Every structure is written in C-alpha cells, then in structure tokens.
Amino acid sequence: NAGVTQTPKFRVLKTGQSMTLLCAQDMNHEYMYWYRQDPGMGLRLIHYSVGEGTTAKGEVPDGYNVSRLKKQNFLLGLESAAPSQTSVYFCASSGRDSGANVLTFGAGSRLTVL
C-alpha cells in the first residue's frame, strides 16, 4: 500500500523555468492538499482540492497553479519559478470515511530555484 507518492523527490530549477510536481494517492481519498515547508515557519497550505475537478486557494497560493483531473492525482505547477519558491513541498490527502482532518503525507519534494 503506497499511500501518497510524490515525484520528483528533488529538482533544481533556474529562475523563470517551469515545472510540475505530481502527487498520487491510492487510498480513494476525496481531499488533497499541497503544503510548503520552510525553516522556522512550519507548513503552509498552498492549494487544496475537495474533489475531482475542483481546486481552491490556501494560505500562500501566489505563483502556483494546481489541477485535479483524476481523483487520485493532484498536480502542482510553477509557471515561472522564483528563488522564493525554494522549499520542500508536501502533498497530503484525507478521506471522508477515515477522518477528513487526519492527513496522510507524502515524503516530500525538495525544490531549489537558482
């Protein structure tokens, strides 16, 4: 049982480049989330989704876009990367039946923007 899988695990970008982080969950969870983790600041919510085809902004959405075309996948895109987006990104999911606010996290994706 894989849980939540994130790809890639590491990526280095130059300023202005674009990329997409992929999150996949195999628990049939309704809700999915993208957080960023920065030193001394805990985790901050970027975007989230309450179901297939729906997305919403979190606390720090600027510079990011997301899509949830399939229930099991949640993509995070950076159209024009900036050094301020250097961070560790975590995807998470939760289910209505197992507890909507009990999140299962992926192992993280470390992004460096030069």
Partner 1 sequence: GDSVTQMEGPVTLSEEAFLTINCTYTATGYPSLFWYVQYPGEGLQLLLKATKADDKGSNKGFEATYRKETTSFHLEKGSVQVSDSAVYFCALSINAGGTSYGKLTFGQGTILTVHP
Give me the residues that bind partner 1 (CB under 8 A), please.
4, 30-31, 33, 35, 40-45, 48, 50, 58, 90, 92, 94, 96, 99-103, 105-108
Judged by beta carbon, residue 17 or residue 71, the one nearer partner 1 is 71
Closest approach of Cβ 80 to partner 1, in Å? 26
CA angle at 15 for the pair 48 and 9, rounded to the nearest 5°: 50
CA distances from 12 to 69, 106, 114 (A): 26, 19, 7
d(C-alpha 65, C-alpha 52), whole Å = 15
Closest approach of Cβ 15 to partner 1, in Å? 27
One-letter amino acid of 54: T
Instruction: Tell me how many helices (H) and strands (E) the chain has.
Output: 0, 11
Closest approach of Cβ 71 to partner 1, in Å? 14
Judged by beta carbon, residue 29 or residue 113, the one nearer partner 1 is 29
